[in-house]
Structure 1
Amino acid sequence: MSLWVDKYRPKSLDALSFHSELSDRLASLATSGDFPHLLVYGPSGAGKKTRIVATLKELYGPGVNKIKIDARVFQTASGSRKLEFNVVSSNYHMEITPSDMGNNDRLIIQDLLKEVAQTQQVDMSAKQRFKVVVINEADSLTRDAQAALRRTMEKYSPNLRLILLANTTSNIIAPIKSRTLLVRVAAPTHADISKILINVAKRERVSVPSELAERIAVASHRNLRRAILTLESLYSQNGSLTPQMPIPQPDWEVVISSIANDLIKRERNAQLLLQIRARFYDLLSHCIPATVILKSLLFDLLDLVDEMLKSHIIHWAAFYEHRIHIGSKVVFHLEAFAAKMMRIIEIYTSAMSLEI
């Protein structure tokens, strides 16, 4: 039984219910005969992947939906390790997430894309002579991998088109941005999300009050995927939906909120830091990305601290986010951020008590 978010995912550009001008633009690119490399960016839950799958269908027809998952094995340059990597593919396209391999992502880019680019289109009746490779989480690629990607784009462009999906372009090197058409997919508005929630519920023959749909849209922070999952969760747990029913916060957000409260309200010492470190480990073991943990902790702290501290906290959050990207042990940098916050808050609290 499929989740509602997958069951009612639009399959074509015409079926997408928001950003219609963007859908028209992608449709015209697909039929122009000169399809470029794309860099599609925007926040999580904005519909980037859905739009790209719909664009591929516009390019090649329904055959792109006949996919298979292959486990490919790559050997490191030293030959000491073998890496297993999952590839989702059809006869017309391939979808990969090289950042899953960490610092070995350059190896995936070099070997896999070269192999795809050097092969001709198998289906002679295909509308396009090139294959498309969709790269997820392109903004998490290492600099070496991005450099390899740039060379691949230059050398094999007749047989290959790349579609890069990213949350932000700030981590993408300039040569790649200059060789792609940038497409920004903005987060849907609260009104768009409310309308979609009501439509999904109607197709499931579930009555959802408009007030509840609006509250879910606000609580989801304009993340459509999260909003639909929240709606389905509320219905499955309660059997019916009422306007004033509480919207539960995800467990991982509750843990991060407790960390922020402890940093502000509890005695700041080594014992507290050890407890916070254990909670960071727990979050990481449940596959919550370190950057998401840091960002959520930052916003929770900003809601709790005095205006004078906000600029300092934002500065150090940016500093440690950069450390997370270039380091290898993310928990060290999360713990260092917590320790820095303890120090800043302690100094501020002491200064305020002296003034009083």
Structure 2
Amino acid sequence: MAFFLPQQTKTAAESKQHAVPELQPWVEKYRPRTIDDISAQEHTVAVLRKALSSTNLPHMMFYGPPGTGKTSTILALSRQLFGPDNFRERVLELNASDERGISIVREKIKVFARQTPRAQKVASDGNLYPCPPYKIVILDEADSMTQDAQGALRRIMETYARITRFCLVCNYVTRIIEPLASRCSKFRFTPLDSSSTSSRLMHIATAEHVNVTPEVVATLIDSSNGDLRRSITYLQSASRLSASTTPPIPITPRDIEEIAGVVPNTVVNDFAWTLGVNIESDMQTDDVPANTKRGFDIIRQKVSSIMREGYSASQLLVQLHDKIIVHQTLPARQKAKCVIAIAEADKALCDGADEELWTLKVALQIHKALTP
């Protein structure tokens, strides 16, 4: 009986969310309901569409960066297989980062996997669903499971394969033990391309009556690095910020940068120009005239000014790294020296070093590498 308590609680919470949809986070409100709603991932969607027509699913492993639709895909597939009435009886969804010990595998997963499902194809909504004679266990963030738990899971997958299918969802496929990975069909989810992300964001903005410009959408995409979930969250936060005043204020790219916690492009470009990276031929700064020779004092003033604004040193160096890597005219040797300096600083910052001192050190090393 204890096994069914979490399921009942989750169902009650879901019914409350459906009753008041405007209180839902947009990432849940606009989560794909069918396989055809999945953005991008054409290869994976094509394979799963064929599997859906045959209703013969293997054990599966979805891996790739966060926010690329892994969990949404398996949930949409499960809804199309079992329908709304059987979904809670046939699908067990666990987040392995919270419940990752061997006791969870033995007590919760094993109990669910050994139960024989009942056949019920016609749902209350009048639609006919395939409802194949097996259940699905979804293990989100399976790469957080302990080695012992993964070993125990392997045996359960073998024993109850006739009536239970498993779907492992993870970010790092190398953290799944080989005996477990070899029993699954692997599907790699790639970061979403700009066009797919842009169309999805525009669809949500239109549905929520939020006015966004193409510049705002481009900033959302750049700030999220292919993570659609993150970009939708930023859009909802910006919408709340815009609606907090009367009349509502327009959403600007700078608002998105503030919400995302990234350093504004103007600040990064200005910093890069001070170090000798010519991002734009006509760029000039307020602190450094175009004909002024850059030196220690100028660079120190610029670093101190950026640190006083409260920007994250790690985030600043990541964005500076991206600017340098894609630069069209810098020689490869100079790029390599700059990247080595940034990598050393990143390691030191992860260990708790002083942000301003290490930012200054990196700035001086990059300036030295770029100075003839």
Q: Report the Cα distance in structure 2 between the residues aligned to 1:347 and 1:202, rounded to whole angstroms.
A: 44
Tell whether 2:225 aligns with 1:221: yes
> Could you say what secondary structure the match of 2:210 adopts?
coil
User: C-alpha displacement at 1:313, in angstroms?
Assistant: 7.0
User: What is the aligned counterpart of 1:92 among 80, 90, 93?
Assistant: 90
Give the Å deviation of 1:336.
4.1
- AA partner of residue 96 (structure 2): P
Whole-Å separation in 1 of the counterparts to 2:207 and 2:361: 54
**Structure 1 residues 139 and 6: alpha-carbon distance in aligned structure 2, compared to 1, 3 A threshold:** same
Deviations along 1:33-57, whole A, 9 cap, x unmatched? 4210000011111111111111101
C-alpha contact (below 8 Å) 1:210/1:243 kept by paired residues: no
Partner amino acid, structure 2, of 1:203: A
The separation in 2 between residues aligned to 1:145 and 1:249, in whole angstroms, is: 41
1: CA distance, partners of 2:363 / 2:25: 48
SS of equivalent residue, structure 1 residue 147: helix
**One-letter identity of the residue aligned with 1:136:** D
Unaligned runs of 5+ in 1: 66-89, 255-260, 267-292, 321-332
Equivalence for 1:248:
257
Q: Which residue does the alignment assign to 2:195?
A: 191
Contact 2:33 2:76 in 1 (8 A): yes
State percent identity of aligned pairs.
Answer: 29
Q: CA deviation at 1:146?
A: 1.3
How far off is 1:189 after superposition? 0.8
Higher strand share: 1
Q: Secondary structure at the match of 2:176?
A: coil
CA distance, structure 1, for counterparts of residue 182 and residue 188 of structure 2? 15
Distance in 1, Cα, partners of 2:120 & 2:67: 35
Cα distance change, pair 175–316 in 1 and its aligned pair in 2 (3 A):
farther
Aligned equivalents of 2:207, 2:34: Cα separation in 1: 18
Distance across 1 between alignment mates of 2:183 and 2:342: 36
Matching residue of 1:74: none
TM-score where L is the length of structure 1:
0.65
Contact 1:57/1:63 (8 A) holds in 2: no
Q: Give the aligned length.
A: 283
- Structure 2 counterpart of 1:308, which letter? K
Stretches of structure 2 that go unaligned for 5 or more consecutive residues are: 1-22, 122-130, 243-247, 264-270, 272-298, 301-311, 325-334
Q: 1:5 to 1:117 in 2, by over 3 A?
A: closer
| Selected match of 1:124 from 119, 143, 147 | 119
1:160 aligns with 2:156: no
CA distance in 2, matches of 1:297, 1:172: 33
Q: Deviations over 1:42-93 (max 9, x none)?
A: 111111111111110122122355xxxxxxxxxxxxxxxxxxxxxxxx1111
- After superposition, the C-alpha distances for 1:261-312 in whole angstroms (9 at most, x for unaligned) are 9xxx99xxxxxxxxxxxxxxxxxxxxxxxxxx9x969846957998437458
**Equivalent AA in structure 1 for residue 120 of structure 2:** S
Q: 1:128 deviation in Å? A: 1.6
**Contact 1:40–1:185 (Cα < 8 Å) also in 2:** yes
Give the superposition deviation at 1:206.
Answer: 2.5
* 1:61 equivalent in structure 2: 83
The answer to whether residue 65 in structure 2 is matched with residue 43 in structure 1 is yes
CA RMSD of superposed structures (Å): 4.1
Deviation (angstroms), 1:190: 1.4
The secondary structure found in structure 2 opposite 1:129 is coil
| Alpha-carbon separation, structure 2, partners of 1:349 and 1:336 | 21
- Cα deviation for residue 2 of structure 1 reads 1.7
What letter matches 1:124 in structure 2?
A: A
TM superposition score normalised by structure 2? 0.63
Q: Which residue of 2 aligns with 1:308?
A: 337
Q: What CA deviation, in whole Å up to 9, does each residue of 1:11-42 have, x standing for no partner?
A: 11122343344323212112324210000011
Name 1:109's counterpart in structure 2.
Answer: 105
Residues 304 and 16 of structure 1, relative CA distance in 2, 3 Å threshold:
closer
Higher alpha-carbon Rg: 2
CA deviation string 1:227-248 (max 9, x = no partner): 1111121122123435655323
Corresponding residue number in structure 1 for 2:26: 4
Structure 1 residues 311 and 335, CA, compared in 2 at 3 Å: closer, same or farther?
A: closer
Contact kept, 8 Å, 1:12 with 1:57, in 2: the verdict is yes
Contact 2:52–2:77 (Cα < 8 Å) also in 1 = yes
- Report if aligned partners of 1:146, 1:176 keep a CA contact under 8 Å in 2: yes
Deviation at 1:346, TM superposition (A): 7.7
Query: Which residue number corresponds to residue 177 of structure 2?
Result: 173
CA contact (8 A) 1:38 1:180 kept: yes
